[in-house]
Amino acid sequence: MAVINMSKNQKISMVKQDGSGMKNIFVGANWDKNRYAGEAKIDMDIHAFLTNGDRKVIYPRDIVNYFTYKDGKDYPWIYYSGDNQTGDDSEKGMDFNGKHYDEGFIIHTDKIPEDRSEVTICLSIFLAVKKLQNFGMISNATLTICDYDDPNGQNTYVFDMSEDDNFANLNAVEMGRLYRYNDGFKFQALGSGYVGGMPELYKNFDLDIIEEEQGEQYE
């Protein structure tokens, strides 16, 4: 099947060719630091926010990232690959369908809690404000979404933010949302960005955090 490049606000139905809904959806993020980063390490992280459309989350139940996931036993609806702190393929990540992804999720749609209707997928640079870092210092920043169970039999969708100059000055972005639609799910590419890093991103989900080297503190 085809690889399709997504644009902002584009919506896709997460259904197979036979019309049945996808039970397991792969979401993979990739990035590489570029020459503008110098010798500094660029640590980009993927986040999943589970909401009911009101953009309010319960911590830690509704947030999946490098800090909350631990062994994953509290998150039966999602698998998280682990924290890749450099974008280097030799670090943590996941190999899927012949390609390495720096960080990623497998979302089990039939296990998403009934009282939740959306999963918003976000990317941010860790300690971006403190380190004066932004997306202009990384290259090949993409989000890939497809059917985990049959990646070659269904379309693969790629949202490439490195092709959009508007992302250069940002350091956190809502890449897209997976939401209930009729009896299945749709995915909408968003591209809504922030310049205040993780704290500003989380504020939009009604959470106040203090970003620290050892993780986050939630208030």
Q: How many residues does the chain have?
A: 219
CA angle 44, 69, 190 (to 5 degrees): 50
CATH number at residue 199: 2.60.60.30
Using the 8-state DSSP alphabet, how is residue 154 labeled?
Answer: S
Is residue 151 included in any domain, yes or no?
A: yes
Is residue 144 included in any domain, yes or no?
A: yes
Is residue 219 included in any domain, yes or no?
A: no
Is residue 102 included in any domain, yes or no?
A: yes
pLDDT of residue 91: 67
Tell me how far apart the alpha carbons of residues 57 and 63 are, in angstroms, rounded to a whole number.
7
pLDDT of residue 161: 86
Using the 8-state DSSP alphabet, how is residue 199 labeled?
Answer: H
* Residue 112 confidence (pLDDT) above 90: yes
Strands (E), 102-153: 103-108, 118-125, 138-147
Is residue 106 included in any domain, yes or no?
A: yes
Is residue 215 included in any domain, yes or no?
A: no
Domain that holds residue 147: 3-12+21-210
Is residue 47 included in any domain, yes or no?
A: yes
Q: Looking at beta carbons, which pairs linking 34-40 to residues 24 or more positions away fall under 8 Å?
A: 34/137, 34/138, 34/139, 36/136, 36/137, 37/133, 37/137, 37/138, 40/131, 40/133, 40/137
SS3 content of the chain, % helix, strand, coil (to 5): 10, 45, 45
Helix (H) or strand (E) holding 194: strand 184-194
pLDDT of residue 214: 57
- Give first-to-last CA distance, the chain, whole Å: 46
- pLDDT mean over 116-121: 96
- Count of structural domains, the chain: 1
CA 94 to chain centre: 14
Is residue 216 included in any domain, yes or no?
A: no
177, two tokens: 């949302």
Question: pLDDT-derived band of residue 55, with 50, 70 and 90 as boundaries?
Answer: confident
Q: For residue 80, which of 107, 113, 112 has the smallest C-alpha distance?
A: 107
* Residue 218 confidence (pLDDT) above 90: no
